[in-house]
A and B are shown apart, each in its own frame.
Chain A
C-alpha cells in the first residue's frame, strides 16, 4: 500500500524555524496489514533518521507509542494503517496536553505528577487485618478493568479539561484513584475510601470532568476513565461528600426530573451554586438579563409531564437501598 505519512514535527531546542511545529510528508510503501508504528519505524530506519518517536513492545502492552492519529489519540502500534487513511494520507501528531520534547516524543512529567497526587497505593484505615486479606474474585475481576491501564497517556492527550486547565487531575490519575476507591481493602472496614473521596471531591477532582467521553474513546485498553469518574461521583455522594456545586447539580437535576419528569432549567443553576451563595448568583445576573431581554428565559412556572405520578413512582422504586449504597465497590460496572 502506498500512503503518505504526514508527521507534525518540532525540535524546541533547534536554533532555527524547526523549533516551531511544522508538517513533513513521508511517502511510504507499507504492507497492507502494517500498523502506523510500522510505517513510522520504516521512515526512521530508511528515510529520515532525525525523526524522533517512542516505542518498545509493538504489542499494545508497554504504552510508549501513544500519538494523535488524524487528530485523535491512540497507540501507533495498535492502529492498522489502512483503516485510518484519509485521501491517501495519515496525519500523525505528538500526544496533546503534554509538552513536546522532539517530534512525536512528549514530556510525561505532568502525567506522573498527577498519578502521584492520588496516592497510588492501598491505604487501609483503622486496625490492620490480622492475617491476609482475601478479596473476592468478583471484586478483583472488576478492578482488572481499571488495572488494564498501561499509562500510555492517550486519555490525557485528548482530555478537553486538561487542554484549558493543567491543574485538573485528569482521566488517567482519576481512573487510578478509582482502582483504590473500588478496592475493598482500601479505606475503612467496609471498604469505603472516605479520605480519598473527600480529597477527590475538591476542585481539580472528580467534579471538574465535563463528561465529554474523549478519554473513553481514546483509551486503547477499555479502561473508560470517564465512567470511573462518574462511579466515584456516585461513591462520593453516597459517602456524604455532597456539599459542592457538582453534587448539588446532580442532586437538583435528578430531583427535578424525578418530581416533574423534565428539567427545571430556571431553578437548576440556583440550586447548583447553592441558594445562599449570593456572589455566585449575582454572577449569573447579567446572563439572565440578556436572556430575558431576548425572550429566552425558561418558563417561570415549571410544568409536570402528563401522568407524572408514574414517573414519581419509578423514581421512588429505583432509589438505591441505603445499606447497599454504603459499600464503595458496589459499582454499576460489570
Chain B
C-alpha cells in the first residue's frame, strides 16, 4: 500500500515527535509513505475565516500534486483532515472548482475534484483492516486504561466528512484502543474542543477546556489519553500544567499521539516513539508497561 503523505505543519513543528512515530508504525505495517513535494498548510480553518478562496486553493494544490503522483492522500492530523474534507466538499461545485483551477494553471496543476484524503486512523479501519493490524500487535497494552480524544475537525461537520457512508468513523478511535489491548475509558468530552484555536485569544477559556477534559479522564482512572490530532496534543499536553494551575489541582495525564500508542503495542520502545518529548511525563505509564 502506498500513499501520498500529507504530514501537516505541526508534526514537524510543535509536535516533532509525531512525524517519526507515524513513519515507524507505517513502515511496520508495510504502508509506504511518499511525501507530497512542496505541500502547503491547509489553512487550519484560520485562513478560511479571512480568505476562503486562498485557503481552498492551497488545498486544491496539494490534491492536484497527489493526483500527479497517482496516489491517495494520507494525513496524520485531525485538523488537516477536516479542513481538507471541507475544502473538497465546497469544490464539488464545478464553478468554484474551475475558479480554483484557474489559480493553479500557472504551475501546470489541475485538480479533478476526485481526491479523498484520509486520516491514518480511517485508513487503518477502512483500507488496511483491523485484523491485519491486530496480527502485528506483539505487546498488547492490557495494563493501560486509555481515553480517546478525537479533535473537532475529524468528527464535525459530518456532512463534509462523509460520516453517513462511513458511520464507523465515529467509533474508530475506541475500536483502535480496544484492538491494541487497552481498556477503553469512554467519556462525553471525547468529541469536544480542546481549546487550542482560542489559545492566544482567550487563554482562560482554552485552559478551562484542557482542564475539564484531562481532569475528567484522570478521575476516571485513565493512564493516558490518545489523540489523532497534533493540535489537540499541543494544548492537552503542552498547556496541561497551566490548565492544572488554573483549575487549582494536579492532573498529570499523559497524552499520546495515535501512532505512539500503536507503536507501543507493536513493541517499539517509548524512547524511539519520542515519548520523552512530551511535557507531561509518560513515566508512570512506562512503569506499568515494564512491570510485567
Q: Which residues of A contact B (CB under 8 A)?
A: 71, 160-161, 163-165, 168, 203, 207-214, 216-217, 230, 233-234, 237, 244-246, 249-251, 253-254, 257-258, 261-263, 265-266, 268-269, 272-273, 283, 286-287, 290-291, 294-299, 305-308, 310-311, 313-315, 317-320, 332
Contacts and interface: CB of A to CB of B under 8 A. Distances in A.
B241 A290 contact: yes
B279 A290 contact: yes
A315 B54 contact: yes
B157 A262 contact: no
B61 interface: yes
29 contacts: A71-B188, A164-B209, A165-B202, A165-B205, A208-B205, A209-B198, A212-B193, A214-B156, A217-B156, A250-B49, A251-B50, A257-B41, A258-B54, A262-B9, A268-B200, A287-B239, A290-B241, A291-B238, A291-B279, A294-B279, A295-B16, A296-B277, A296-B279, A297-B14, A305-B39, A308-B38, A314-B57, A318-B51, A318-B57
Contact of B193 (A160, A245, A294): A160
B52 A332 contact: yes
A211 B45 contact: yes
A317 B158 CA distance: 32
B50 A234 contact: yes
Contacts of A314: 54, 57-58, 61, 103-104
Contacts of A299: 13
B241 A298 contact: no
Contacts of A272: 200-201
Given A209-B198, A272-B200, A311-B40, 17 more contacts: A71-B188, A160-B209, A211-B197, A214-B192, A216-B156, A216-B157, A257-B41, A263-B10, A263-B41, A263-B44, A287-B239, A291-B14, A291-B279, A296-B14, A306-B37, A310-B107, A314-B104
Interface in B70-97: none
Contacts of A237: 50
B212 interface: yes
Interface string B29-63: 00000000111110111111111111001100100
Residue in B14, B37, B39, B242 whose Cβ sees the most chain A Cβ within 10 Å: B14
A315 B43 CA distance: 12
A317 B9 contact: no
Residue in B156, B203, B204 whose Cβ sees the most chain A Cβ within 10 Å: B156
B39 to A, nearest CB: 7
Contact of B47 (A214, A253, A308): A253
B202 to A, nearest CB: 5
A212 to B, nearest CB: 4
B95 to A, nearest CB: 11
A326 to B, nearest CB: 16
A317 B103 CA distance: 8
B157 A306 contact: no
Contact of B205 (A164, A216, A263, A305): A164
B38 A318 contact: no
A210 B45 CA distance: 10
Interface of B: 9-10, 13-17, 37-41, 43-54, 57-58, 61, 103-104, 106-107, 152-153, 156-158, 188, 192-193, 195, 197-205, 208-209, 212, 238-239, 241-242, 276-279
A310 to B, nearest CB: 5
Contacts of A212: 152, 156, 192-193, 197
A203 B40 CA distance: 32
A254 B201 contact: no
Contact of B50 (A217, A233, A265): A233
A315 to B, nearest CB: 6
Contacts of A234: 49-51
A265 B14 contact: yes
A246 to B, nearest CB: 5
A257 B57 contact: no
Contacts of A160: 192-193, 209
A163 B211 CA distance: 13
Contact of A298 (B14, B188, B192, B278): B14
Residue in B38, B104, B208 whose Cβ sees the most chain A Cβ within 10 Å: B38
Nearest to B48: A230
Contacts of A317: 103
Nearest to A261: B40
Contacts of A207: 198, 201-202
Given A210-B195, A296-B14, A217 B43 contact: no
A318 B54 contact: yes
A254 B16 contact: no
The 6 A-B residue pairs with the shortest CB-CB distance, nearest first, are: A306-B38, A213-B156, A212-B193, A164-B208, A298-B13, A272-B200
A265 B9 contact: yes
Nearest to A317: B103
B41 A262 contact: yes
A217 B208 CA distance: 23
A245 B54 contact: no
Contacts of B158: 217
Contacts of B242: 286-287
A285 B39 CA distance: 31
A212 B198 CA distance: 11
B49 A230 contact: yes
A267 B29 CA distance: 37
A245 B47 contact: no
A239 to B, nearest CB: 13
Contacts of A244: 201
Contacts of A161: 193, 198, 205
B200 A318 contact: no
